[in-house]
Amino acid sequence: MLNQMMDGFRRATESSLQVQQEIFKQWTQQWLSVQPNFAGNSAEWRQSVQKRWMDLTIDMLNKHRESLDGMYATGIQAIEQSFRMTEAKSSDDYRRIFDDLWHKLFDTLKGQLETQFRDFQRWSEQSLDIAHKAQAQTQSQTQNQA
């Protein structure tokens, strides 16, 4: 039963990671294929936009790393707790320990997914904001030149 629970947790975690990687891959490809028209803008301004987007992406990756670190710490705790199942003196003790472990794993996975979704949502909003500001700046400079 413990093996089934751990296998289910592993599959859910792998599935979550695959979805995140696919979303990040799609967004990155879209951003790289749709570069704003920087014609007429200064090199300093272009570098500023690129730096803001790079800083935002690095911040997102650091948050993702922190999330993975948290998942590893929880996994280690779950393994330690699963070893304590052998200490159960009755079926009620075993059930209680098992339920505690299951709830902890479920709550951890839920928390991780919520945090990662909020981080990705924040990254997306800020990326769009950078793109809109760049587009507005480009349009403003184009109108001033006309």
35: left (phi over 0), alpha (psi -120 to 50) or beta: beta
Please check whether residue 45 lies inside any domain of the structure: no
Q: CA dihedral in degrees (5, 71, 115, 18; nearest 10)? A: -70
Please check whether residue 97 lies inside any domain of the structure: yes
- Summarize pLDDT for 27-66 with one digit per residue, the tens: 666 665 545 555 556 677 777 777 887 888 888 888 888 8
Please check whether residue 109 lies inside any domain of the structure: yes
Confidence band, pLDDT 50/70/90 cuts, at residue 10? confident
Please check whether residue 61 lies inside any domain of the structure: yes
- Domain limits for position 108: 50-134
Please check whether residue 146 lies inside any domain of the structure: no
Total tally of structural domains belonging to the chain: 1
- Summarize pLDDT for 70-118 with one digit per residue, the tens: 878 888 888 888 787 788 888 898 888 888 888 888 888 888 888 878 8
Please check whether residue 23 lies inside any domain of the structure: no
